[in-house]
Structure 1
Amino acid sequence: MLLDTPICDFGWNAPDFTLKDAHGRAYAMREQIGENGLLIAFLCNHCPYVQAIGHRLAKDAETLKAAGINVLAVMSNDYRDVPIDGPAYMPKFAEKFGWSFPYLVDEDQSVGQTYGAVCTPDFFGFNVQGELQYRGRLDNAGMRDPKGRKRELVEAMQLVALTGQGPRQQIPSMGCSIKWAR
């Protein structure tokens, strides 16, 4: 099911969480906020939207990291229902796209629910105080050829890094619905 993300709730304070990657390494969200902010991306392996942006996201994450903005990816899908999204497949998927950021398993789906994540990809951009400033799409290319794309997420997060606030105009991300446990 194709869904769009809700409008950004500017200033919403990011709830802390600790999740593990597929190798069992734990990451606490609050400890991952960079000197200029944090991007949390809700992703999964099977979604064609995530697959279409995978390489672009890797490049954009490197740009953000250079700007003092860290990136965390969270996989909240019920992988018992969609096995390809499970921890056994996550490292290879991340490697395929060159992701250098932690790709974390939301085993009980509590982080996805707390954040109100609705689809993959779903991007949450926070300032250094952990206040939500971006809830939009990666770029204007979507699933098309990315040549000449407008890097909306990067531009928004660079603004957040400079001013602490995101742009007031944001275009929602679109993707596959998160697969919640029944």
Structure 2
Amino acid sequence: MALTPSTMLALKTQAPDFHLPDVVSGQTISLATFAGKKALLVMFICRHCPFVKHVQAELAQIGKDYSGKNVGILAISANNAATHPEDAPDKLKTMAQELGFTFPYGYDASQETAKAYTAACTPDFFVFDANRQLIYRGQLDDSRPSNGLPVTGKDLRSALDAVLADQPVNPEQKPSIGCNIKWKPGNEPGY
């Protein structure tokens, strides 16, 4: 397990488009799926990573807490299922069903979406405003599997709440930390 921080993509970056299959419904998800939403949360997660396992119940809770609000939420896994079979689409579907995810869970087989977002680790979070400009990237909160701090989602929730209230998002943002994305051989990005 390589401890990897998020790349901290430049704020105001425009959300890259994508076309990914939802592992649960089989439907194709794209930016247009979330048209009209005031905020969009894109999170790169997977099934096997201990950092994701540490926060997965909170991710499911965020989905439930914001389902009635004007927020689009999408989880994406880009891990190489050949080397990490626990992150294959059928296993991701089981994960989504077991945790009660209320949002789509896309599988990025080509890893092009992960590259477009400069995703580096799992979990990695990106929040975009109504114009799909990046306003938050970084950690869920200060909790890590070994530090004993409770999982609250405070950093991510604060960003979502600010967008919904038409308030500025705190520019002091800390990178997420987690397992590196499991790139296919020769597909590693240069960022």
**TM-score of the two chains, using structure 1 as the length reference:** 0.92
Q: What pairs up with 1:54-65 in 2 under 5 angstroms?
A: 54-65=56-67
Per the TM alignment, residue 8 of structure 1 is displaced from its structure 2 partner at its CA by 4.6
State the distance in 2 between where 1:8 and 1:91 align.
Answer: 28
Match of 1:95 in 2: 97
Greater Cα offset, 43-52 or 20-29: 20-29
What runs of 5+ residues in structure 2 fail to find an aligned partner? 186-191
Q: What pairs up with 1:31-180 in 2 under 5 angstroms?
A: 31-33=33-35, 35-143=37-145, 147=150, 149=152, 151-163=154-166, 165-180=168-183
Task: Give the letter aligned to residue 43 of structure 1.
Answer: I
Conserved? CA contact 1:127–1:164, under 8 Å: no
State the distance in 2 between where 1:34 and 1:70 align.
Answer: 9
Greater Cα offset, 146-155 or 64-73: 146-155
SS at match of 1:175: strand
Conserved? CA contact 1:121–1:173, under 8 Å: yes
Match of 2:189 in 1: none
State the distance in 2 between where 1:180 and 1:40 align.
Answer: 19
State the distance in 2 between where 1:24 and 1:148 align.
Answer: 31
Deviations 1:105-126 (A, max 9, x none): 1011110011110000000100
Task: Give the letter aligned to residue 70 of structure 1.
Answer: G
Deviations 1:157-182 (A, max 9, x none): 11122226421011111100001100
Conserved? CA contact 1:127–1:165, under 8 Å: no
RMSD between aligned residues = 1.8
Where do 4+ consecutive residues of structure 1 move more than 6 Å? none
Deviations 1:10-66 (A, max 9, x none): 110001111102242111123224532100000111101111101011112222333
State the distance in 1 between where 2:155 and 2:43 align.
Answer: 14
Match of 1:7 in 2: 8
What runs of 5+ residues in structure 1 fail to find an aligned partner? none
**TM-score of the two chains, using structure 2 as the length reference:** 0.88
- Count of aligned pairs: 182
State the distance in 2 between where 1:155 and 1:125 align.
Answer: 11
Quote the sequence identity (%): 32
State the distance in 2 between where 1:98 and 1:146 align.
Answer: 24
Per the TM alignment, residue 141 of structure 1 is displaced from its structure 2 partner at its CA by 2.3
